[in-house]
Structure 1
């Protein structure tokens, strides 16, 4: 294996992750008048898993809160750095795009879009240095009319029309996921790096296999037909790793040992 190949992949992944997080640093998540502190913690956790870190809270009913910290898991740093303000106008200060999450079925000044439809525009704005606010209302009633009017984009999650209930953290997770997936959807770094067995290593295995099959009588040397070529093709399709070859040869050794013990017992 080329040592340069194994070291370059993680570096490339780290660079891509850093770039994605830099784009996502232009986004802030705003939770308005959240009534249950657990939803604040769960939303923080949803944000951090997708690389968003800026949390704004408009008049939360209870914050700081141990419940929020508990449900945030290891995202308590987002809670520590959360910006608590007294009005939506304060939370939106400095933003260039304000995205209101809503499911209201009525005439709106702005058309409704799904997260996937809207995300390209949001990412482009972030790339050009804009500040984007993702705005979520209360658990029970969502955003008020006045809050909606402060936002210049509307987004809704296309749920099952027969059951469209999403809690606050789920809604935050969906929108944050769509943002991250548009920037970085490569998960190849999670795949195990395989170490394939060398040609000579596998040839020793084939030799060991043939000897074992002959010893136990499965392979007839005088009439082998096409057994070994077929076995070769089968293992070649698999692409054996070195550790797998070691396992198979261990099985072969155990097979011969078992055969010797059986023969010794039969002779007594």
Structure 2
């Protein structure tokens, strides 16, 4: 098992300024981090990757698609922009040494049509992500589509749908993930949801119902960790927690109040929580 922390707790742009936090995460016992990929600067990501390697930390990465780069848009130019955004993000992963690029790569975050997903949108997403997966394969990166809850997207909103999408694309470099925050909202039975998708799951986000310290809220952690062990999961458990430090992210994630005493305490407690639950 590998234990990681998403750097979005501190920043959406990891630069040298945040290297002391990387050092702290290593000292606290983390195995790696998840890097936000929003600025496409290969030199910067190479520097970050070099720092991570010097610390012995692994990394994955996360990005999102916007309205102007939406893989399911009926506009071919917008879909092309979506493909371009994802391929650029893959290049940043390669520069940093990130093994996975995760996130709602299938559609624009926070964009709604007023209806459910259509067959045309499904086919558009399949086409864009199959092409992106070819680029990912050449860079030895795995794309990991993340389903979101119904308040953040409408295209993929359950483990079963995300797994079905990946099975249909049928590409070794396109898989899905399980996120405890979204599952807490959308799934009727967590264990069944996990089992239904597990042949396609390669990544896990550990996130509390209020996006703060895992273990301090009401996510069904008993079922979550019992099923992780039943399914013999041995990939990344990546903590995803958000705060108020990033106004744009706070607006997107609807975080309006501080949910924890400090980022350091959250990170330390989250790691201890995950290790304790996996050992039980």
TM-score (norm 1): 0.35
Q: Which has the higher helix share?
A: 1
TM-score (norm 2): 0.34
- Which of these two proteins has the greater Rg computed from alpha carbons? 1
